[in-house]
């Protein structure tokens, strides 16, 4: 059976105060998709080292198809990132560069497989590497799958011009409220200044600005404890997030993305898609690490 969902980008070790956890947004998304009962494959690269051996086994144990996870050339180690978490659970990241995932090779077999898939997700962080941008360009030429773009304006790899160029290649954009405000400001005044929308009207206005510049039909905005919004060709739908005690936010957005992908590719009612995705994100935020085991009361929402 052909894999339904593909993700292109980083797989790495998140070094958290609570310990070392396999991470990287594309990997996290595929791990959550597998827990939701759909087939998911990662297109990435790891080092020829023990950390690579270990993270490959973690991915396989989580049900992720690793057929297209390649070993990088000698000298590029498996990616690591130092994660610090503040008193209210918000995380900051220090990424090692270069790393194996800076050189992700997309094979002819991968291109053929993606052409048969329901969806492909890619993020802006992997675009820090010119090598990856060339490979991603080949992937985005493939017709068929719904293309999801996960915006990540993470300094020092926040590059609005690159983000906007990649956004033009996607069907669905996903970003947080701070990012949607920054990108809208960049488009309006040429500077990505902090400008977080404070209400639904402001979110819709920012989405409209980005939508006009990219031709993206749908833009999803996550708003932490306030929930999420989906702008669909000018119409905005919102949903609240469940109230939880946050342990750390690592991977919460990736869990949300997995729920969003499954819901939108199945044509589920928009508000229901957002509610389910918010439930996923909130559960992960209330646990340590990016890919905790999901309870059946959450996963069954995606099997009906």
The predicted-structure confidence for 44-78, as pLDDT tens digits, reads as follows 999 999 999 999 999 999 999 999 999 999 999 99
Q: Tell how strand 19-23 and strand 119-123 pair up.
A: unpaired
Rg (CA), the chain: 18
**267 phi-psi bin (left φ>0, alpha ψ -120 to 50, beta other):** left
Please report, to the nearest 10 degrees, the dihedral formed by the alpha carbons of residues 197, 93, 22, 126 taken in order. Answer: 70
Instruction: Give the pLDDT of residue 85.
Output: 77
Alpha carbons 291 and 288: distance in angstroms, whole number = 8
3-state secondary structure of 52: helix
Q: Are 119 and 147 in contact (CB under 8 A)?
A: yes
CA proximity to 98, closest of 69, 66, 122, 131: 131
Q: Are 178 and 223 in contact (CB under 8 A)?
A: no
What are the extents of the domains in the chain? 5-295
Residue 99 dihedral angles phi and psi, to the nearest 5°: -140, 170
The end-to-end CA distance of the chain, in Å, is 20
Instruction: Give the pLDDT of residue 113.
Output: 97
Alpha carbons 293 and 284: distance in angstroms, whole number = 9
Alpha carbons 176 and 205: distance in angstroms, whole number = 15
CA proximity to 210, closest of 179, 246, 240: 179
In sequence order, the 6+-apart residues with CB closer than 8 A to the CB of 304 are: none
Alpha carbons 240 and 226: distance in angstroms, whole number = 6
Sign of the CA dihedral with 147 first, then 150, 153, and 157 last: negative
Tens-digit pLDDT profile for residues 1-22: 689 999 999 999 988 777 788 9
pLDDT in tens, the chain (304 residues): 689 999 999 999 988 777 788 999 999 999 999 999 999 999 999 999 999 999 999 999 999 999 999 999 999 999 998 878 787 767 777 888 899 999 999 999 999 999 999 999 999 999 999 999 999 999 999 999 999 999 988 777 788 999 999 999 999 999 999 999 999 999 999 998 888 998 999 999 999 999 999 999 999 999 999 999 999 999 999 999 999 998 878 889 999 999 999 999 999 999 999 999 999 999 999 998 789 999 999 999 887 5
Alpha carbons 140 and 211: distance in angstroms, whole number = 19
Encoded tokens for 44: 């990435």
CATH architecture of 5-295: 3-Layer(aba) Sandwich (3.40)
Residue 132 dihedral angles phi and psi, to the nearest 5°: -65, -40
Q: At what angle do helices 177-189 and 160-167 cross, to 10 degrees?
A: 100
């Amino acid at each position: 059976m052909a894999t339904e969902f593909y993700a292109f980008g980083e797989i790495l070790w998140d070094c958290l105060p609570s310990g070392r956890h396999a991470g990287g947004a594309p990997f996290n998304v595929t791990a959550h998709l597998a827990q939701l009962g759909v087939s998911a494959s990662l297109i990435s690269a790891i080092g020829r080292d023990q950390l690579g051996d270990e993270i490959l086994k973690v991915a396989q144990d989580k049900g992720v198809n690793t057929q297209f996870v390649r070993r990088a050339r000698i000298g590029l180690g498996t990616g690591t990132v130092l994660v610090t978490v503040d008193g209210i659970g918000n995380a900051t990241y220090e990424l090692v560069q270069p790393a194996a995932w800076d050189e992700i090779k997309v094979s002819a077999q991968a291109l053929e497989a993606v052409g048969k898939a329901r969806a492909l997700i890619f993020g802006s962080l992997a675009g820090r590497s010119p090598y990856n941008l060339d490979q991603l360009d080949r992937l985005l030429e493939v017709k068929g799958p719904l293309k999801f773009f996960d915006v990540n304006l993470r300094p020092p790899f926040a590059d609005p011009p690159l983000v906007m160029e990649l956004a033009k290649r996607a069907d669905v954009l996903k970003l947080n409220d701070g990012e949607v405000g920054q990108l809208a400001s960049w488009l309006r005044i040429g500077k990505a200044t902090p400008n977080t929308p404070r209400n639904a009207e402001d979110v819709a206005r920012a989405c409209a600005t980005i939508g006009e510049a990219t031709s993206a039909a749908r833009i999803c905005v996550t708003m932490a404890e306030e929930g999420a919004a989906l702008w669909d060709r000018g119409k905005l739908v919102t949903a609240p997030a469940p109230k939880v005690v946050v342990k750390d936010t690592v991977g919460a957005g990736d869990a949300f993305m997995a729920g969003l992908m499954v819901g939108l590719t199945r044509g589920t009612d928009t508000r229901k898609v957002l509610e389910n995705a918010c439930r996923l994100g909130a559960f992960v935020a209330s646990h340590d690490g990016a890919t905790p085991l999901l309870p059946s009361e959450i996963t069954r929402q995606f099997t009906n």
